[in-house]
Structure 1
């Protein structure tokens, strides 16, 4: 159990190792204002989306959500040399491209990793990278998963033109706290929205402020749609990730209270004795 010495559950620390969309920021071919700024100062620099969790276990071992192609650099920048487990949302390359590098790290250190993913996602990963099983155990997580003081549930969400993804809801029975990670979704029906209700924190993917493309070609909510979703769900806080070079973190978009863009390196604490600002 993740706990203080007196037996109470300790805080869970969330750190955004990346907040970029499938291509990241900057785009190598692009000279837009956001990409150029990201090259100069790094404020808008965004590797592919990944979230680090610390506090699921008493020993503070690292757990990640998703493992994109920037995994090695993200680990170095976070000062991490190992990760025990990874939760996977879906089998698109920007979410699994780093599994090859992780498997090699597991091989070199002779410490087999564990990847939890919905059952239908695992074959899609192994069809592409069949050798990963040598150093990573892939376990289905369709049934609720208990890690430390947290119960983790996943559910299928609409990913628009790109098919489907999965979101994760974390619940702590001792405190009644819950939070959710839904990086790749659009057009959620009432059933898909249900696990997002009542959360202290919802992390949602929004690549554009107002996406200009026709709806049937899209795969994520945009920021304007996320504002409407916030009004409906009313989470304690809504953080936006999976951001393309359309989003300029140096610009004031007039986001409503309780909503913000997640910047790479941003940390939040949930539960325990302290809450994040």
Structure 2
């Protein structure tokens, strides 16, 4: 299974509009972060997108995405769903399934009302919405996906486990019984907003390292990084060898 991190940044991206801090002024491409999204390509060639950020068009062009089999949505915040209209050019001739909790799907129906009305606006994406529940695995073309409950501050959202890979974005806490559902994961994508300073709804990088340790230290990629996180080159010197700072375009492969 091949995983391509299309976007590695938090809701404002990096650099932030109007900011001139040293992170935002960095010329290292690893420090230039679009909003979060992951493309999973299975051994059989199925393509599953996790979250569809407002930067999807740019990300899709960079990664040469010309088809998708499904989209998984973690929650309804704009930086995770704002690119759904941009899948129209690869889904206006066939249905594209979108999976998420019912409250998330309701938000999508409201935002993209012109897609879901009785007579959709011509040329809009043909999205079919499918409700999922935490802890209840489902199938996408023979691929098993397990939604995992995590807490984004006080907001319940979903992480996803696909085989030995797990994707947890915007997580602040996770219940012990849900953490057990991640046992045996070999590749973990997990948010770390900034290095140490507490945030009400996101883990710090230090807390992400601790959570990785609770899962027996799988290969771990930090995502949803902000301009308050250290520079990429600095993170390389601060992190354990199995923890990797995510960046746009990072690829990871899980061998069978």
Contact 1:118 1:141 in 2 (8 A): yes
Q: Which of these residues, 136, 142, 151, is aligned with residue 158 of structure 1? A: 151
5+ residue gaps, structure 2, are 121-125
Show the counterpart of 2:61.
76
Q: Match for residue 8 of structure 1?
A: none
| Residue 238 to residue 250, structure 1, CA distance change in 2 (3 Å) | same
Contact 1:103 1:113 in 2 (8 A): no
**Distance of 2:2 and 2:142 partners within structure 1:** 13
Listed one character per residue, the Cα deviations across residues 204-232 of structure 1 (whole Å, up to 9, x for unaligned) are 1111111255xxxx111101112222222
Q: TM-score, normalised by structure 1?
A: 0.82
Residues 138-170 of structure 1, C-alpha deviations (whole Å, 9 max, x = no match):
112333222356311102211005x12101111
Whether 1:100 and 2:69 are equivalent positions in the alignment is: no
Instruction: State the partner residue of 2:42.
Output: 55
CA distance in 1, matches of 2:66, 2:38: 16
Given the alignment, which residue of 89, 97, 120 partners 1:114? 97
What displacement does 1:102 show? Answer: 1.7
- Paired residues of 1:205 and 1:221 also in contact (CA < 8 A): yes
* Aligned equivalents of 1:131, 1:195: Cα separation in 2: 38
Q: 1:24 and 1:36 mapped to 2: Cα distance? A: 13
Deviations 1:87-124 (A, max 9, x none): 111111000000122246533xx233211112332112
CA–CA distance in structure 2, aligned partners of residues 92 and 203 of structure 1: 19
| 1:49-84 deviation digits (Å, cap 9, x = unpaired) | 10011126x3x2422100010000000011123323
- Is 1:123 the counterpart of 2:84? The answer is no
Q: Does the 8 Å CA contact 1:208/1:246 hold for their aligned counterparts?
A: yes
Unaligned runs of 5+ in 1: 1-11, 172-177, 273-277
Query: Equivalent residue for 1:4?
Result: none
Who is 2:123 aligned against?
Answer: none
Is structure 2 residue 154 aligned with structure 1 residue 167?
Answer: no
Structure 1 residue ranges, 4+ long, deviating more than 3 angstroms after superposition? 147-150
Say which SS state the counterpart of residue 74 (structure 1) adopts.
helix
Give 3-state SS (helix, strand or coil) of 1:73's partner: helix
Mapped partners of 1:138, 1:16: distance in 2: 24
> Is the aligned partner of 1:265 residue 2:249?
yes
Tell me the TM-score normalised to structure 2 length.
Answer: 0.88
The match for 1:245 is: 227
CA-atom RMSD in angstroms: 1.9
Name the SS for the 2:23 alignment partner: helix
Which range is displaced more, 20-29 or 233-242?
A: 233-242
Q: Distance in 2 between matches of 1:194 and 1:34?
A: 36
The within-5 A match list for 1:1-277 is 12-37=1-26, 40-55=27-42, 58=44, 60-103=45-88, 105-107=90-92, 110-133=93-116, 134=120, 135-142=126-133, 143-147=136-140, 150-161=143-154, 163-171=155-163, 178-213=164-199, 218-247=200-229, 248-251=231-234, 252-272=236-256
Offset of 1:187 from its aligned partner? Answer: 2.2
- The 2-side partners of 1:229 and 1:18 are apart by 22
